[in-house]
Structure 1
Amino acid sequence: MPTESLTELVQQHLETASTASSGRSAHTIYGGHENVLRQTLIALRAGSSLDEHESPGEATLQVLHGRITLVAGQDRWNGSPGDLIPIPDSRHALEAVDDSVVLLTVGMREA
């Protein structure tokens, strides 16, 4: 079974996000469309965001680096390294306060 270093991926994707026009970089670590479980590392440059979107299933964010804010309507949750934040089952957005990296874990809904 192949393994990946989250520490190395954090540094790699922070560098990529720092020069990307979108201010972000992402890499699926585990799973995909054929799996129920999907884990994706997402790096965001300070001040960038993921616009409001629906959750495809039950999900959590683990903050690996930096500081983020998860926003759902009027609710806001702040996260820093080591925090695990359940993602609400509603439209939400993610904002990077600092250069940040999160691990998104999603249990996909069946079609």
Structure 2
Amino acid sequence: MALPHAQARDVIDLQPLGAAVAQTPSTSLIKTARLQLMRVVLRAGQSLPEHQVPGEITIQGLEGEAVVTTTEGERVLKAQQLVLLPGGEPHAVHARTDCSLLVTVRLGGP
């Protein structure tokens, strides 16, 4: 069964989850032919193993603190901070605290 995604012009709530962060799963919010937005939720100590995607990616801290590791080192990402990664760059994410992140991926096309 396909996940429901927001449609064009839908308003998406990105408020911090607060105490609910520990019980909230990661969610794909929007997916089109060229763009995907996901709210990634990690508990303290959890990690996304190293991976890469073909398109550019942004990772924005919504709450908590995470470490983004790339080929050029580590970047600490806190709430209200954003990092841009070039397409194809290997990266991993590790949660220092319970956190939620807005991940935007450019999927394809010019």
TM-score range, shorter chain: 0.7 to 0.9
Cα deviation code 1:22-54 (max 9, x no counterpart): xxx31111114xx20111000100000000001
Residue of structure 2 in register with 1:86 after alignment: 84
CA distance, structure 1, for counterparts of residue 29 and residue 35 of structure 2:
11
Residue of structure 2 in register with 1:67 after alignment: 65
Please list every run of 5 or more consecutive structure 2 residues that lacks an aligned counterpart in the other structure.
1-8
CA distance, structure 1, for counterparts of residue 81 and residue 102 of structure 2:
11
Runs of 4+ in structure 1 deviating by more than 4 angstroms, as ranges, are: none
CA distance, structure 2, for counterparts of residue 16 and residue 108 of structure 1:
29
Identity of aligned residues (%): 26
Residue of structure 2 in register with 1:21 after alignment: none
Give the count of matched residue pairs: 100
CA distance, structure 1, for counterparts of residue 20 and residue 40 of structure 2:
8
**What SS is found at the alignment partner of 1:101?**
strand
Alpha-carbon RMSD across the aligned residues, in angstroms, is 2.1
Deviation at 1:6, TM superposition (A): 1.3
Amino acid at match of 2:21: L
State whether residues 13 and 26 of structure 1, in contact with CA within 8 Å, keep that contact through their aligned partners in structure 2.
Answer: no
Amino acid at match of 1:2: D
Residue of structure 2 in register with 1:14 after alignment: 21
CA distance, structure 1, for counterparts of residue 28 and residue 19 of structure 2:
14
TM-score relative to the length of structure 2: 0.79
TM-score relative to the length of structure 1: 0.78
Structural mapping, 1:9-48, within 5 Å: 10-11=17-18, 14-17=21-24, 25-32=25-32, 35-48=33-46
**What SS is found at the alignment partner of 1:14?**
helix
Deviation at 1:12, TM superposition (A): 8.5
Please list every run of 5 or more consecutive structure 1 residues that lacks an aligned counterpart in the other structure.
18-24
Amino acid at match of 2:97: D
Deviation at 1:5, TM superposition (A): 1.3
